[in-house]
Structure 1
Amino acid sequence: MARGLLLAAAAATCLAVPAEAAPTARPGSARPAPARDWTKTVVVTPQGGFRMGNPAAPVKLVEYGSLTCPHCAHFSTTARAALEARVRTGRLSFEFRNYILNGTDVAATLISRCAPPATYFRLTESLYATQPQWVARIEGITIDEKLKLSALPDAEMYGRIADIAGLTQLAASAGVAPQRAKACLADKAGLARIDAMNAAAGKLGVHSTPTFFVNGRMIRTQEWADLEPLIRQAGG
Structure 2
Amino acid sequence: MRFLLLAFLALFVASPAALAQAHKGRPAAAKKAAPRPAARPNWLTTIVKTPEAGYRIGNPNASLKLVEYGSRSCPTCARFAAESKPLFSSYVASGKVSYEFRDFLIHPQDIAISLLGRCVPTARYFSTLDAMFAGQPGFNARGQALTDADFKALEDMEVVPQARALSDKLGYTAFFKQRGMTEARVTQCLADRPALIELGKITGDAQKLGVNGTPSFFLNGRKLDNVYSWAQLEPLLK
> How does the TM-score come out when normalised to structure 2?
0.80
Which residues of structure 1 form unaligned runs of 5+?
1-22, 25-33
5 Å-filtered alignment, 1:1-236, equals: 35-220=40-225, 221-232=227-238
Aligned residues: 201
* CA deviation map 1:70-92 (0-9, x unaligned): 10000000102433421111111
Q: What is the RMSD computed on CA atoms of the aligned residues?
A: 1.7
Compare CA radii of gyration and give the structure with the larger one.
2
The more displaced of 178-187 and 188-197 is 178-187
* Distance (whole Å) between structure 2 residues aligned to residue 173 and residue 202 of structure 1: 34
* Distance (whole Å) between structure 2 residues aligned to residue 194 and residue 102 of structure 1: 13
Partner-residue secondary structure (3-state), 1:208: coil
| 1:165 positional shift | 1.0
| 1:136 positional shift | 1.6
Q: 2:130 is matched by which residue type in structure 1?
A: E
| 1:123 positional shift | 0.9
Partner-residue secondary structure (3-state), 2:109: helix
The more displaced of 71-80 and 215-224 is 215-224
| 1:56 positional shift | 0.8
* Distance (whole Å) between structure 1 residues aligned to residue 178 and residue 64 of structure 2: 32
| 1:157 positional shift | 1.2
* CA deviation map 1:184-224 (0-9, x unaligned): 11111111111111110011010111000111111121111
* Distance (whole Å) between structure 2 residues aligned to residue 172 and residue 57 of structure 1: 35
| 1:162 positional shift | 0.6
Higher relative contact order (CA 8 A, sep 6+): 1
Identity %: 37
**Residue aligning to 1:16:** none
* Distance (whole Å) between structure 2 residues aligned to residue 113 and residue 82 of structure 1: 22
